[in-house]
Amino acid sequence: MTENAFADGAAYVKGAFVPIADATIPVTDWGFTRSDAVYDVVHVFHNGFFRLEDHMNRFARSMQARRLRPPEDRAAMETILHRCVALTGLSDSYVAMVALRGRPTVRGSRRPADCQNHFIAYALPWIDVIPLDVQERGAHLWIASVPRVPDASVDPTVKNYQWSDLTTGLFEAHDNGFDTAILCDAEGFVTEGPGFNIFVVKDGTVITPDRGSLHGITRASVLELCAELGIPAMVAPLPRAVLEEECDEVFAATTAGGVMPAARVGRRILGNDRPGPISRKLREEYWKRHEAGWHRTPVRPLA
């Protein structure tokens, strides 16, 4: 039996499909030297993409916002994503799509318009931003001292690789023995964490920040579930004090992990130091609906 060369991941780079270990870009690509790229991530669960159209729509908006125009059209991109997953043979995977500025076609140019934009994609074995055992006991979240980059400087609704502030928050969290971080803005309002949206539950109402954060697809899924389950929910300003003193539960939400409950925020222990009832209910419902084929697009098999 021949070993699958794509078992650890498959990528599409420079018009070809290669094992993930062979996927490279030039060191002079502005996507690398300037973080001049946009991306999106969709997960595959039991051989089906979850909310693929929503992810493709957001990716298209991000490319438009950053004036990125790779040669592949949307239909070609979708076909590439399907093939990356099919090549791996994985039933559950993490799938990324990236548009990069590329290199100038005019030597020495500093004009973005002179660059040749390009598209890459890859599929990897499933990733959980917060490991499953940590989700079970409830994540320990550190509130970072570094503020989130202002929305006016870097639009958080355009999914990008500007992670300097988020990474600094992770340094702090790990240095203090916490699992991951939450960042607030300079005015003291909660924004998001490294790779996830944040939610609180206060007096039975689910609240997620209205600023400084990506309009996450899982975030939208949580709000959809709340509406269907009769749980009050809103997108609203969320002062830091709500996290530190007032809320009853906290959970994170992301494509790479779904609904992920927390048990501690800073030195504050929530409830009985375990995930709260509404967080648990939303997590269970989220995966229960996945099992039933919620928002599912089957992965196309290899021809």
* Cβ-contact 255, 59 below 8 angstroms: no
pLDDT reading at 159 higher than 90: yes
pLDDT reading at 2 higher than 70: no
Q: Quick: pLDDT tens for 261-296.
A: 999 999 999 999 999 999 999 999 999 999 999 999
Q: Which helix (H) or strand (E) holds 58?
A: helix 52-65
- Exposed / middle / buried, residue 202 (Cβ in 10 Å: 0-12, 13-18, 19+): middle
Architecture of the domain whose range is 10-125: 2-Layer Sandwich (3.30)
What radius of gyration do the chain's Cα atoms show? 20
pLDDT reading at 180 higher than 70: yes
Q: Quick: pLDDT tens for 242-255.
A: 999 999 999 999 99
pLDDT reading at 216 higher than 70: yes
Residue 218 to residues 104, 222, 252, 255, Cα–Cα distance (Å): 36, 6, 10, 6
Please report, rounded to a whole number, the percentage of residues in the chain having pLDDT higher than 70. Answer: 99
Spans of all domains in the chain: 10-125, 132-291
User: How confident is the model at residue 145, as a pLDDT?
Assistant: 97
Overall fold of domain 132-291: D-amino Acid Aminotransferase; Chain A, domain 2 (3.20.10)
Q: Quick: pLDDT tens for 27-78.
A: 999 999 999 999 999 999 999 999 999 999 999 999 999 999 999 999 999 9
Strands 258-265 and 139-143: parallel
Strands 48-50 and 296-298: antiparallel
User: How confident is the model at residue 256, as a pLDDT?
Assistant: 96
User: How confident is the model at residue 172, as a pLDDT?
Assistant: 98
Name the band, by pLDDT with cuts 50, 70 and 90, for residue 303: confident
What gap in Å lies between CA 103 and CA 114, rounded to an integer? Answer: 8
Task: Quickly list DSSP for 144-203.
Answer: -SSPPPPTTTS-TTS-B---HHHHHHHHHHHHTT-SEEE-B-TTSBB-EETTEEEEEEET
* Cβ-contact 88, 49 below 8 angstroms: no
